[in-house]
Structure 1
C-alpha cells in the first residue's frame, strides 16, 4: 500500500473511533457553512468525519482500491494535495448549492480519486461486489450522473451530492492543470543531438529495467512490463509523456 493512502486510512479510522467515543467532536470539526468564517479549519477536517459505519466503510474501500495506483501515478506529495483539494472543492460546491446543510465525510475527496483513476485507466474493469464487471470510465459516468440527478432533484436522502460533484470537478481540473504544467516543462527542454538522445534513451531504459517488480501492485507490474516492451522495441522516446512519467515515478519511488 502506498504511503499516503495508508496514512489517510489510518487517520479516518482513528477519527471515527474518537467521534464514536466523544460525539461532540463531530460538531466541532464538521463543515457548517454558516460557521465557516469562525471555524475555517472545518473546510478540511470535515472530510475525516463520517456519519456511521457504512459511510466510512464505503469511502475507505474506495480509497483502498483506487488510491494506491493513483498515488503511484502522481507521486505521494502531489497525491495528498490532490486529495485535500478535492475535499475542499466538495465543501465549496456544497456551500454554493446547499448553504444550510452541515457536511461530513470523505466522499468529495474519494470521488476525486475515482475520477482520477478513470482518467488514467478508463477501460480498467472494476468488479462491483467482486462479481459485476464495469469499466472505470462507466463507473465514473454513473457516479457523476447519479450525483447530478439527486442533487438537482433535491433528493432528501441525507447525502451531500454537491460535495461529491465538487470533488469530481476539482479532481478533473487539478489533473488537467498538472498534466499541462508537466508538458510545458518537457517542451522547454533543449533538443538533443541524435547520438546524445540515443545515450539518454539507453540510460533511461536501464533505469526503468532496474525497477523492483516485487514492490508493485500486480496491475502496475503488468503496465510496467507492457511499457518496457514498447520501449525496448522502439526506444524510450517512442513512449508518450504520460507513459514516461509513469515509469519515472516507479523508478523514483523509494
Structure 2
C-alpha cells in the first residue's frame, strides 16, 4: 500500500481523530521543509518567508486582516524538528487520554478551541499591552501547536487530576503536577525571549480548564466546532443532510423516556474503591464513563 493510500485511509476513518491531528501537523511540516529545500536549491530562498507567511499568525492587525485563516493554520505549523517533536509527543500522550474518556469529537474541539483562544490572547496582548506593542509593530508571528496542545494537557489534568504518568528519569507523576509545571514554563517564557508563545500557552490552558468544567456541568463548548466540522465533511464528501422521519408508534414507558441511566451511588463507590486500590488506569472504559456521568449530576 502506498503512502498516499495510507494517508487516505487514516482520514477516511471516523474514529481516528488523534492520528489525524498528528498527521496534519506532520504533513504541513514536511510540505514546508520540501518547499524550503526546493527554493534554496533554485536560488530563491528569499521567497520562503512569503510562503511561511501564509501559515503563521501575525501579531499586527493589518496583516491578520489579509490572512484571516492563520488564526487556525498557525496551530498546525512548525519549522524546527524538536519543536514539532515535543508538541506531537505531548499531543499523543495527553490526547490519547482525552480521546479515551471523552471521544474523538471532543478531542478535536479541545484542540481547535485551544488554538483559537491561544491565538486570540496572543493578538490582543501584543496590540493592547504597551510592553508588547513593539513586537506587534515588528510583525512578530506565532506558530506551533503548543497552545492547542496545552489546552489538551490542562483539559486532561482538569478531568483526571490524579491520573499518573511514568516519566523517564523521574518516575510516576500525577498529571495535575505536569499541568502546573507546563503553566510555570509558559510564564517563564514570557520574559525569557518568547512572550508570544508563553501568552498563547496560557490562553490555551485557560480554555482547556473551562472546557472541562463546562462539560461537567452539561454544556459542551465544542458543539460549534463539531457543527462546522460536520458541514465541511458533507461539503467534501458530497453527502446530503440525512432527514429522519418517525412513524407513529405506542408511547415508550416513562423509564425509557428519561434518557441514559445515570450510575447509582453504589456503583460509584465501587469504582472509587477500585481507584484507591489499583489506580485510575485499572478502570475499564465503561467505568470511566460512569464516573464522568456521575460528575455531571
TM-score (norm: length of structure 2): 0.61
- In structure 2, runs of 5+ residues without a counterpart are 1-9, 37-47, 128-135, 221-253, 264-278
CA displacement at 1:155 relative to structure 2? 1.6
1:54 to 76, 82, 85: 82
The reply to whether residue 38 of structure 1 matches residue 66 of structure 2 is yes
The reply to whether residue 11 of structure 1 matches residue 24 of structure 2 is yes
CA displacement at 1:241 relative to structure 2? 4.8
**Superposed CA offset, 1:142-194 (max 9, x none):** 1112212332xx221476101110110111112222222259xxxxxxxx77x
Q: CA 1:55 to 1:227, structure 2 compared with 1: closer, same or farther past 3 Å?
A: same
- In structure 1, runs of 5+ residues without a counterpart are 184-191, 203-218, 229-235, 246-254
1:28 to 47, 54, 60: 54
The corresponding residue for 2:158 is 119
**Superposed CA offset, 1:62-109 (max 9, x none):** 011110220222222222122101001111111122342300000000
Q: CA 1:182 to 1:170, structure 2 compared with 1: closer, same or farther past 3 Å?
A: closer
Greater relative contact order (Cα 8 A, min sep 6): structure 1 or 2? 1
The corresponding residue for 2:293 is 242
Instruction: Name the SS for the 1:104 alignment partner.
Output: coil
- For 1:181 and 1:157, the matched residues in 2 are separated by 37
Q: CA 1:78 to 1:20, structure 2 compared with 1: closer, same or farther past 3 Å?
A: same
2:108 to 51, 71, 80: 80
Equivalent pair of 2:186/2:199 in contact (CA under 8 Å): yes
CA displacement at 1:36 relative to structure 2? 1.2
CA RMSD of superposed structures (Å):
3.3
Q: Any runs of at least 4 consecutive aligned residues in structure 1 with deviations exceeding 6 A, and if so which?
A: none
The corresponding residue for 2:144 is 105
Query: 1:1-254 alignment to 2 at 5 Å?
Result: 3-23=16-36, 24=48, 25-34=51-60, 35-99=63-127, 100=136, 101-129=140-168, 131-151=170-190, 154-157=191-194, 160-181=197-218, 222-224=282-284, 227=287, 240-242=291-293
Equivalent pair of 1:47/1:105 in contact (CA under 8 Å): yes
Instruction: Name the SS for the 1:103 alignment partner.
Output: coil
When the two structures are aligned, how many residues end up with a matched partner? 208
TM-score (norm: length of structure 1): 0.71
- For 2:104 and 2:210, the matched residues in 1 are separated by 19
CA displacement at 1:227 relative to structure 2? 3.1
Equivalent pair of 1:86/1:108 in contact (CA under 8 Å): yes
Larger radius of gyration: 2
**Superposed CA offset, 1:28-85 (max 9, x none):** 1100022111111000000111120000000000011110220222222222122101
The corresponding residue for 1:207 is none
